[in-house]
Structure 1
Amino acid sequence: MAARPYATGPASFDNSTTAGILEYHNPSNKTEKINNLPLLRPLLPLFNDTTFATKFSNKIRSLANAKFPAKVPQTIDRRFFFTIGLGLSPCANQNQNCQGPNNTMLAATVSNVSFVMPSTALLQAHFFNKSKGVYTTDFPTNPPFKFNYTGTPPINIMVTSGTKLAVLPFNIKVELVMQDTSIIGAKSHPLHFHGFNFFVVGQGFGNYNPNTNPAKFNLVDPAERNTVGVPSGGWVAIRFLADNPGVWFMHCHLEVHTSWGLKMAWIVLDGKRQNQKLPPPPSDLPKC
């Protein structure tokens, strides 16, 4: 087996090829026969071959059987549409010399919100009902304005900043579509969701069409994951059941993008039963 990175951005990365050996517990052939078989060396695609990467990921399916069922939400209670991408932000310090246009700096956003890390832990503020001054619960369900997400970028690519969270009632069925944008170049963003597995029900290139694309969603045996790549110049749709109360971080797994603000958090409220409520922190847990 061999593997190499998939990357679409201009940033440098380790382009090494890794190799592994796959051993079968009960091989069908005897050892002497295996030793006589030819060694098939895989021809790996280019590191930025988006078409190949997409075809490969589209082939991944859940087992969807009695032992490993695929409990895909068939109906949806809340729908979200997030844009994922880059933008510009004013220099944090007036005396700082930033290298972006008009003395700006690069930023990354979810729906044009560049996340600002709080000085108080989000989970702590939520549990003790002390959110004032720590975060707000007005994360947008949709982008602040529509544009040709994978076409010519808008003139104004300045971002907003804040510690905004999205709130979900317990046990609701959620659909989230994440759309890449061409602002400062289209890129593939691996989004990781803490606290949940989700089903990747659809993906495609270009702008997501809510009227036609859902008809092609796989609601039978989609892949169940906690990280998914938003295609470069495309979109991905996921579904999940909000059955894990607490505050859950969602962020790009490219650390530089996370540090620029490509992250957000979800609050899942308590359910009615005791086992559906967020447990208190240990009495000796140091406060942030």
Structure 2
Amino acid sequence: MFQIQVKNVSRLCNAKPIVTVNGMFPGPSIYVREGDQVLVNVTNHAQYNMSIHWHDLKQFRNGWADGPAYITQCPIKNGHSYIYNFTVTDQRGTLWWHAHILWLRATVYGAIVIMPKEGTPFPFPQPHRETNIILGEWWNQDVETIVTQANKLGLPPQPSNAHTINGKPGPLFPRSEKHTFAMEVEFGKTYLLRIINAALNDEHFFAIAGHSMTVVEIDAVYTKPFTTKAILIVPGQTTNVLVKADQSPKRYFMAARPFMDAPITVDNKPVTAILQYEGIPNSVLPILPQLPVSNDTKFAMSYNSKLKSLNSPRFPAKVPLQIDRHLFYTIGLGINPCPTCQKGTQVVASLNNITFVMPKIGLLQAHYFDVSGVFRTDFPDKPLAPFNYTGAPLTANLGTAMGTGSVSCLSILQLNWSYKTLIFSAESHPFRLHGFNFFVVGSGIGNFDPKKDPAKFNLVDPPERNTVGVPTGGWTAIRFRADNPGVWFMHCHLELHTTWGLKMAFVVKNGKSAEESVLPPPKDLPPC
């Protein structure tokens, strides 16, 4: 049972009302087993309309449970409820849930932990204990007020006042000693950290002073284990790491700081939590880790190159080898006229020169009931107007950002076809595809070379993800099989860019049988 409630919370010496689930910040963790059917009854008591996204449970044939507002459902109004109904299939590991409307994700989020079926062991040493580490952000003011004011000006909202670990900024921030997450460990034991980046607008490096981490899973998919001093995790992603408590018994900082290698200002002050050995008093000062510098592109590219699917007989990597259709997507930023904005213009973002128009009815509902005038189905497979796709500085990337009138523009996919998508960007963007996992078969800096680069693709054991970071001034190639009928959202997971229109949706057509078709909508589907 999820009760959406407003509660007064204090951080950084500032108290304010925030939207929570069951009065918790972060919200409650959900623990399930692979194969479980899950029903979550969400009741909204807040002044905001609300929807919850389950990021990313493979809800085959039940897109009504996905949750993004005006994509698969209209939001839940104040005083109303909606039951999300999904089955956990072929997944194990760490995912998460969050609000998927406005900027309410700033406080409405939590972990989903999928345990293997009874009697099925992990493909790595059994940890002594598990701990959820959720990276987030905190604003001293009301987030929705900040966004509304920025939109009136036609400018970006102000950045957050602090980053958080499990809702707490840590002792490096003023009067925040009591708002510090700490975990106690026993010497010689191994611990599993389930790390989630729930931050709205920042990619993060994460490290633990004095300790190495062994990466064993990303986005609820097991990986070939490798050891690293730090990880890179972008908004929307999850990473599981094993940490052995084998250092001198002391207190050690766990810390995260933003990664940004484009000329954009970010808050570099690290958020910290504490890893504390059993029996060590709190008076012992913790040691800070050596995090990569904020623009360390070399580390970011090297780290991502080490991520590989396990691809074992038990956990095969089913990479599409034959491609039915090629998609070429470019990310652009532009300036559009805005008569209602104070400056007369506003920043907009686009995919293939198209800025997404949010509908007033759920796209899945419009698709299922064949409601006309809600969306078009001619989203282009390549940009409508060429521009400097990977140009730097960002001013070289101001491609034309065209609206689509009063309707959304969607792309039609055939069920069970395989697709390859190339995504180009001048600034780092974490891109998220709902409804499917995909394989990241290649990535690079600069423009894509169609003759040389495909020969470097990893088609054997590429990482399988639901969110991928597109490098600054570069490209990423992904492959996926469209085996899930319905309407599925694709968007940048930086809330700022999503607000500016950096999003689109796919319609995956029904198959020939009822088993390959969208289910009828539930009776309690929220009205628009």
**Which bin holds the TM-score, normalised by the shorter protein?**
0.7 to 0.9
TM-score by length of 2: 0.47
- Superposed CA RMSD in Å reads 2.4
State the identity %: 51
Does residue 7 (structure 1) correspond to residue 7 (structure 2)? The answer is no
Matched ranges for 1:207-218 at <5 A: 207-218=447-458
- CA separation in 2, counterparts of 1:71 and 1:179? 25
- Report the counterpart of residue 223 of structure 1 in structure 2: 463
- CA separation in 2, counterparts of 1:14 and 1:133? 46
Shift of residue 157 of structure 1? 3.7
Superposed CA deviations along residues 106-135 of structure 1, whole A, max 9, x for unmatched, are 0011111111100011010001111x2111
Superposed CA deviations along residues 138-176 of structure 1, whole A, max 9, x for unmatched, are 101001133442237779743101211011010000000
Structure with more contact order per residue of length (Cα contacts < 8 Å, sep ≥ 6): 1
Q: 2:417 aligns with which of 172, 181, 189?
A: 172
Superposed CA deviations along residues 235-260 of structure 1, whole A, max 9, x for unmatched, are 00000000001100111111011000
AA aligned opposite 1:150: T
Shift of residue 196 of structure 1? 0.8
AA aligned opposite 1:224: E
Does residue 261 (structure 1) correspond to residue 501 (structure 2)? The answer is yes
Q: 2:350 aligns with which of 84, 92, 109?
A: 109
- Report the counterpart of residue 35 of structure 1 in structure 2: none
Q: SS state of the match for residue 55, structure 1? A: helix
Contact 1:148/1:207, CA 8 A, preserved across alignment: no
Contact 1:4/1:18, CA 8 A, preserved across alignment: no
Contact 2:260/2:266, CA 8 A, preserved across alignment: no
Distance 1:286 1:191, change over 3 A: same
Q: 2:402 aligns with which of 141, 145, 160?
A: 160
- Report the counterpart of residue 342 of structure 2 in structure 1: 97
AA aligned opposite 1:178: I
Distance 1:216 1:127, change over 3 A: same
Contact 2:335/2:398, CA 8 A, preserved across alignment: no
Contact 2:350/2:356, CA 8 A, preserved across alignment: yes
Shift of residue 18 of structure 1? 4.0
Contact 2:418/2:479, CA 8 A, preserved across alignment: yes
Does residue 283 (structure 1) correspond to residue 523 (structure 2)? The answer is yes
Q: 1:57 aligns with which of 294, 300, 304?
A: 304
Distance 1:269 1:53, change over 3 A: same
TM-score by length of 1: 0.84
Distance 1:275 1:51, change over 3 A: same
Shift of residue 16 of structure 1? 2.1
Distance 1:265 1:95, change over 3 A: closer
Q: 2:442 aligns with which of 196, 202, 219?
A: 202
Shift of residue 274 of structure 1? 1.9
Shift of residue 13 of structure 1? 4.3
- CA separation in 1, counterparts of 2:359 and 2:314? 42
AA aligned opposite 1:160: M
Distance 1:22 1:66, change over 3 A: farther
**Aligned pairs, number:** 262
- Report the counterpart of residue 429 of structure 2 in structure 1: 189
- CA separation in 2, counterparts of 1:203 and 1:76? 18
Instruction: Give ranges in structure 1 of 5+ residues lacking alignment.
Output: 24-30, 32-38, 181-185
Does residue 133 (structure 1) correspond to residue 373 (structure 2)? The answer is yes
- CA separation in 2, counterparts of 1:265 and 1:51? 33
Shift of residue 95 of structure 1? 4.8
AA aligned opposite 2:259: Y
